[in-house]
Amino acid sequence: MATEGPSPRGGVTPSPLWPARPPPPPPPPPPPPAPSAGDGAAASEDSAAALFASINALGSDGVRAGLKKATRGPVNEELPADASKPAVAPVKAPTPAAAAKKTYPPKCELSGKKWAVEYQDGAKELVVEVTSIKQSVYVYNCKKSTLQIKGKPNSICIDACSKVDVIFENALSSCDIVNSKDIQMQCTGMAPSINIEGCVAVTCYLSEESKETAHVITSKSAAINIIVPTSDGDIKETPIPEQFLTKFSNGEWTTEAVSHDD
């Protein structure tokens, strides 16, 4: 129980009900002052002076004593490859796949007034029987084949063929051979006109009666030969000229075939 004590004025002062709290601790001391700029500069100057003093004490020979001698070499000499790392092969660009060549079924049929003999390969016994002079025969894109044409068609055309033999009796107007190579054509009757364009290696066998009337017209072609029978039962081969000479004479240009006599 609280007790009362004497008052400074002679009275009694009541004591507090709770004891007094202790005072708080004092604040921490302030941080030490930072070194001034003058002190840092002085320390740096002392370090530099000591470094130069040690270098001067070694002399020129002492300074170069620890250096490694360098050898002169090419400036652009390549550094050796690191053997520990595997070499990286260059990446090749993918090549586009070749487009598959489209194939067509072989054909040998009469369509309207035209016989179509197309896409034959290796056919050696092809036969076309023409029943009207209004019918024509068109041979297209055939290879290594033999065709026999019976009757008298209006015209015959051999187009884009290779290693093809064509035997016919008669042609009312013409026999045309275009854009082909290694062609053998044989006329056993009459053919008024034979036209050859853009071909290589064409041999025309003409009968006795057709050699007197047939006209052979060639353009952009090479190795064209005409074979005709002779009176003694033999044959004569005549190459069609491939070179021509054009010159100005008597006020006009004239062209003549160039012959190479053996």
* Residue 151 included in any domain: yes
CATH of the domain at 113: 2.160.20.70
The pLDDT tens digits for 115-165 are: 999 999 999 999 999 999 999 999 999 999 999 999 999 999 999 999 999
Residue range 153-167, pLDDT digits in tens: 999 999 999 999 999
Mean pLDDT of 183-202: 96
Residue 11, in any domain of the structure: no
Q: Which of 12-16, 194-198, 254-258 has the lowest mean pLDDT?
A: 12-16
With a cut of 50, say whether residue 2 has pLDDT above it.
no
Give the pLDDT mean for 162-187. Answer: 97
> What DSSP state is assigned to residue 10?
S
Q: How many domains are contained in the chain?
A: 1
Query: How sure is the predictor about 261, in pLDDT bands with cuts at 50, 70 and 90?
Result: low
Q: Quick check: is 161 in a domain?
A: yes
Does the residue 39 lie in any domain? no
What is the domain extent for residue 132?
107-257
Contacts of 47 (CB under 8 A, 6+ apart): none
Tell me the whole-structure pTM to 2 decimals. 0.62
